[in-house]
Structure formats: structure tokens, C-alpha cells
Structure 1
């Protein structure tokens, strides 16, 4: 693991040199897509890496926020074909090659992150409404739960995360008000927030996900191993400690 890349994109760095000398939490902003298999792996590796750092005597405090990124915004809500068909079309490979790619990713997901992908059940779809739902959940203090629920629904359970009816049911499963969720999705209430996330990604120069931005300064690209996230958390927390002295 190399040192995190420095982001020169006008990120705002929290002021941790207040009079209390108490370090501010590390802020981790994550750009990802519901339909990105590496994003779920990266999410779980991040969580496992932070859990290891949490065992330290001087454990880092961390705040995580998820942001929207659409890998294939032109995907229809109801894609006619299998996961392998979708991958073959978008990668310009044969269906057999696409199947092999899925099998490889599924094995990595299992070995690295303990995730059991079911590409045979997967229903490819447009993810913009799922991203809107994540923003709705954030407003109600349930963003992390909603993000996890959507990824599990898509990659493990074969649920359709592009239809409003299905998304409303998933919202209810994490304790969100289903009527309010339906109203927000049907009226595109959080579509501007999705577009703002995408604009910020462009400002940072992010063109692939998952991408992790630490304190608006450092960028970590890809589904890094859990140990890499442990290292980054400890390094940045030491910087917070030093700045608070």
C-alpha cells in the first residue's frame, strides 16, 4: 500500500486546532455505485480495516459519508438479459469471458470480504433511484444502513433496486418511513443531491469507483485490502493528534 494520493481539488479540511485540543474525527467520503461489485468489497474492507484500528488504545474516531456515482447511467430500469450479458455488452467481451470475470470477482468477494455474490440472480438496472434513496436515508440518519441494504439486495439477494416499489420496501426494512420514501423517490426530491455528488466527483478527478477521500485531502482508489485502511486510519489519526497539540 502506497501513501494516499493527495487531492488538489479544493477539498475542505476540518479545523482540528480548537481550544479543547480534542482531535476532530477523520472524515471519509466514499464515492461508489450500487451496481459496482468492487464497491461492496471496498465497503466491507473499509469497515474491517477501521474495526482493527478501533482496537488501538488511541483509537481513531471516524465519520463516513457515501456519495453517488453512476458507472452506467444509460442502463435501462429493466435490462433484458443476465449479468453476463450486461458485462459482455459493456466490456466488449464474449459472454463466456464475462462469466469468467464474474466468477473471479465473486471469489475475491468471498475470500477478501466474506461476501457471497449471486451473479446468477442479479437484475441489472439503472441505479439513480437507489442513489436518491441513500440520500433520503442520510437525511433520516440511516445512510449507512441503507447503503448496506441496497448492496446486499443487489449482489446477494437478486433484488431489483431500480423500481420504486422495491426500493420503498427496502427502505422500510431499515426502519425508514415507506410513505415518505415513496414520495421522495416519485418526486425526484434527492436527484439534485445525486447530481451534486457527481459534480464533486468530477472536480476531484474521480473516474472510477470505489474512491475514498480522507479529510478532503487524500484519495484512496479501489477496493484496497482491510489492512490498507487500517494503516491509513492510523496515519491520518496521528496527523489529527499532532495538529491538536
Structure 2
């Protein structure tokens, strides 16, 4: 089974949604046969490069949400994350910025066979440690933590080798019906918008599995069986 999840690095629902998907796969009876692939869905390309803002300022600029409303909405996400095993999970007191280079870093890491490690590392650094993940040096340091070659990574990012791939990733999600992030697609058939809870995701995983693995009955239909009307005796008895 193939599961694809599109996410934005600084989206708190994306970090939580990725965690919820992990929990669903862990509980899934066929979890060892599931491949999870992360894709990019940048949402901050309009932000200036090389500048960061407080999450409070960003909420006000982008969504017109400020004051107590910002406090209530973001603290709710933090509380949900903590209740589900993500602690600390920093949202309101974090910085935000243009994540285009971060997505290019993630594409490079994926090309090096480290898709999962890179996405886990960037969510952990940003939400768990409130570390910036916007500049070249931020990303080179993060790359070293997952054993990416620093100079090779530097070259890939300064050349913007994966810029087109990031755009194509986001465009594909939109063609599949995504209007925001996170967005999950299971086996190319089931699209799931938003950070659904783990139980809901588990139900969809089971439905998708049953659909792609229909039960095949044995050709031997003459074995003893009991039904609503009693117990049948094989004809050859």
C-alpha cells in the first residue's frame, strides 16, 4: 500500500497530521506493507526570502487573526499535539518565513533516499525545538544530522536543483483535489484533506486494503459447514 502526504513545513496541522498518520499505520494490521511518502505543498512563497516573522505576526498578516483569537486557536493545536504524544510542540511562539528553500532541501534529501528521515527531522526541529529551518545554513546543519553530505547539499540548494520538482509536487496535489495541507492520498484512490484523527485514518486504510485485496474462496465447497438453517453434511459422507 502506498500513502502519499503533502505538507507545509511550518503548518502546525501538517506536523500533527503526519504524526496521526504514523499512529494509524502503527495500528494497521498490514502496517509493514505500507510505504509512506512525503511531498511538498508550499504555502509561504509570498513571504520575503531571508526574513522571518513571529507566528503572531504571520497569523495577523495572512489571516487577520490576532490577539486572544490567535492565542486560543494555536494553544488548542499545541494541546492536541501534547495529548497525542508530541511534547513540546511549539506553534504560537515560533518563527515563520519563506519555506521554498526548505522544500528544495526535502526534495534533495528524498533523492538521496532520506524522504522520511528528512521530514521527521524538519518537523522535530521546527515544532519540537523551535529551530529556524529557513536559511541555507539552517538546512545544511539539519542535513548533517541525517547524514547528508554538507557540500553536496549546499550545491543542490544554491543551484536550486529541485525547485521545479517542488512546484510539480504541489501542482500534482492540486490536480488530485488538494486545496490546502495536509493532504493524504492512499493508493491513488482515496484523498483525505486535513489532519484527520488516527482512528479515521485507520478506517480508510482498512477500507483501501480490503478493496485491493478481495477475498478468494477455495474451490473446495464440499467441506462440513454450519449455517442459519443447521449443519450440512458433505455429500460424500
Residue 120 (structure 1) shift: 5.5
Question: Which ranges of 4 or more aligned residues in structure 1 deviate by more than 6 Å?
Answer: none
Residue 123 (structure 1) shift: 1.8
Q: Are 1:141 and 2:116 matched, yes or no?
A: no
Query: What is aligned with 1:38?
Result: 13
Q: Are 1:125 and 2:97 matched, yes or no?
A: yes
Residue 201 (structure 1) shift: 1.8
Residue 180 (structure 1) shift: 0.8
Specify the structure having the higher radius of gyration (Cα): 2
Q: With the length of structure 1 as denominator, give the TM-score of the two structures.
A: 0.82
2:49, 2:98 within 8 Å by CA — same for their partners in 1?
yes
1:88, 1:97 within 8 Å by CA — same for their partners in 2?
no
1:82, 1:122 within 8 Å by CA — same for their partners in 2?
yes
Q: Deviations over 1:67-92 (max 9, x none)?
A: 11112211123445421121122111
Moved more, 233-242 or 73-82: 73-82
Residue 244 (structure 1) shift: 8.7
- Using CA pairs under 8 Å that are at least 6 residues apart, name the structure with larger relative contact order, 1 or 2: 1
For residues 23 and 149 of structure 2, the distance between their equivalents in structure 1, rounded to whole angstroms, comes to: 30
For residues 161 and 93 of structure 1, the distance between their equivalents in structure 2, rounded to whole angstroms, comes to: 24
Q: Classify the secondary structure of the residue corresponding to 2:95.
A: coil
Query: What is aligned with 2:126?
Result: 154
Q: Are 1:174 and 2:146 matched, yes or no?
A: yes
Q: Deviations over 1:85-109 (max 9, x none)?
A: 2112211122332122211111111
Residue 230 (structure 1) shift: 1.7
For residues 216 and 113 of structure 1, the distance between their equivalents in structure 2, rounded to whole angstroms, comes to: 29
Q: With the length of structure 2 as denominator, give the TM-score of the two structures.
A: 0.85
For residues 238 and 178 of structure 1, the distance between their equivalents in structure 2, rounded to whole angstroms, comes to: 44
Q: Deviations over 1:164-203 (max 9, x none)?
A: 1110110110111111111101100011110111111221
Q: For residues 178-193 of structure 1, what are the structure 2 equivalents within 5 Å?
A: 178-193=150-165
Query: What is aligned with 2:22?
Result: 47
2:71, 2:92 within 8 Å by CA — same for their partners in 1?
no
For residues 216 and 135 of structure 2, the distance between their equivalents in structure 1, rounded to whole angstroms, comes to: 47
In structure 2, stretches of 5+ residues that fail to align are: 218-237
Moved more, 197-206 or 180-189: 197-206
Q: Are 1:239 and 2:211 matched, yes or no?
A: yes
Cα distance change on mapping 1:80 and 1:47 into 2, 3 Å: closer
